Amino acid sequence: MKIVTVLGARPQFIKAAPVSRVLRQRHTELIIHTGQHYDANMSDIFFEELNIPKPDYHLGVGSGSHGKQTGEMLIKIEEVVLKEKPDYVLVYGDTNSTLAGALVAAKLHIPVLHVEAGLRSFNKKMPEEINRIMTDHVSEFLFCPTETAVENLKKENITRNVINVGDVMYDAVLYNQELAQQKSTILADLGLQPKQYHLITIHRAENTDDIHNMKNILEAFSQIDEMKVWPIHPRTKHKLAEYGLDAASIPNLKIIEPVGYLDMLTLESNAKKIITDSGGVQKEAYFMKVPCVTVREQTEWVETLESEANILVGTDVEKIVEAVKKAVNPVYANVFGDGKAAEKIVAAIEQV
Ligand code: UD1
Ligand code: UDP
């Protein structure tokens, strides 16, 4: 079998690593990197750390408005797919790279494999929600991470080839956890003590693109006295500069460049709490049993909200501060599979 995988953004490299490993044992995989993320610490570092084979095609699309970015991806992905004539096109998650890969393949009648299918926030103002809905509706195989995702698809009358395989990000965490312990020196490098700091990540457009929300978020951080470490996403860094907001002066806050996956796993597992608006980071907090505070109005990962393992707070200053201070005692359930999602995905395609 010949499979073309389309990747472009940080979380997709992490999701692809376990699947590529299994896929390449028995099949031919070619990787297209759209170039949506291009800084070394947003892209190359993950290929190196996770041993993802170098992309066969690098499209160099880069940043831009949704239309420009997605449009350029469509043109360039189509050229590769027409040339390579794969049996399947494999896409992950809900970014513009996901949508572009899925649309190209569907129009060329090449079956689309969607990993992380069926997620919904029910907020169509999120670009990711549009990307997921469109991708799910043109996909031939829909690999869901949870039962909730399967149910979401059922409500949209998508039932054929819908399989709950579990979450590929759980596969990735299990595979790399020990390696992170052996290799990462980030706690010592930053002078951090285990469970004596909170970890922050913020990058969602609904937060970064609204100055009022960003002001609230920074105000909340300044009211949390404990040590905080924040590997800052380039989108957020650019927006803070544009707004003239100064996060660097917040006491006990270490703002650092985005880190590699092994350092991130280390920062996550040793954090007292995780404060985030990231999809992947909410799940990783759950896998590692670290209480999470999510700076969003909705989450696709509703399972994490049970027993306050994750608390949704939006951008209200008081709610953020209270949730971070709150003593919680979460019960963690086994809702993201058994860490063998990649095996199940490849086995499902082989059964056709
Ligand atoms: C994208 C995804 C989002 C995902 C996130 C993961 C879409 C619509 N959004 O958001 O779902 O959660 O990736 O991180 O696909 N930039 C750099 N260097 C880079 C990459 C980006 O400086 O290597 C800056 C640019 O100013 C760019 C901005 O970040 O305009 C946003 O990048 P973009 O890829 O458009 O969206 P993300 O916010 O990264
Ligand atoms: N991540 C990382 N370094 C960072 C921030 C995040 O390796 O500095 C990892 C994180 O562990 C998770 C993934 O990137 O696996 C999440 O990606 P992101 O938050 O960019 O996107 P989302 O999951 O919200 O789409």
Tell me the per-residue pLDDT of 172-202, one tens digit each, with 9 for 90 and over.
Answer: 999 999 999 999 999 999 999 999 999 999 9
Question: Which amino acid residue places its CA nearest to atom 36 of ligand 1?
Answer: 235
Rounded to 5, what percent of the chain is helix, strand, coil?
A: 50, 15, 35
Domains of the chain are: 2-167+337-350 (3.40.50.2000), 175-325 (3.40.50.2000)
User: What separation in Å is there between the alpha carbon of 9 and the centre of ligand 2?
Assistant: 9
Are the C-beta atoms of 144 and 161 separated by less than 8 Å?
A: no
**Tens place of pLDDT per residue across the chain (352 aa):** 999 999 999 999 999 999 999 999 999 999 999 999 999 999 999 999 999 999 999 999 999 999 999 999 999 999 999 999 999 999 999 999 999 999 999 999 999 999 999 999 999 999 999 999 999 999 999 999 999 999 999 999 999 999 999 999 999 999 999 999 999 999 999 999 999 999 999 999 999 999 999 999 999 999 999 999 999 999 999 999 999 999 999 999 999 999 999 999 999 999 999 999 999 999 999 999 999 999 999 999 999 999 999 999 999 999 999 999 999 999 999 999 999 999 999 999 999 8
CA 323 to chain centre: 23
User: What end-to-end distance do the CA atoms of the chain give, in Å?
Assistant: 11
Spell out which residues line ligand 1, taking CB within 6 angstroms: 9-11, 36-39, 42, 63, 94-96, 127-128, 203, 234-235, 238
From CA 141, how far away is CA 225, in angstroms rounded? 48
Pocket test for ligand 2, best of 278, 288, 292, 310 (most atoms within 8 A of CB): 278
From CA 60, how far away is CA 55, in angstroms rounded? 11
**Between the CA atoms of 306, 205, 167 and 10, what dihedral angle is there, to the nearest 10 degrees?**
-140
Strands of the sheet containing 253-256, edge to edge, are 253-256, 227-231, 197-201, 273-276, 292-294, 310-312
Q: What is the pLDDT of residue 29?
A: 98
Q: Which phi-psi region, left, alpha or beta, contains residue 199 (left: φ > 0; alpha: ψ -120 to 50)? A: beta
Q: Which atom of ligand 2 is nearest to the CA of 258?
A: 8
Per-residue pLDDT tens for 164-173? 999 999 999 9
User: What separation in Å is there between the alpha carbon of 235 and the centre of ligand 1?
Assistant: 6
SS3 for 201? strand
Closest CA to 321 of 201, 200, 224: 224
Per-residue pLDDT tens for 75-86? 999 999 999 999
Are the C-beta atoms of 216 and 315 separated by less than 8 Å?
A: yes
pTM comes to 0.99
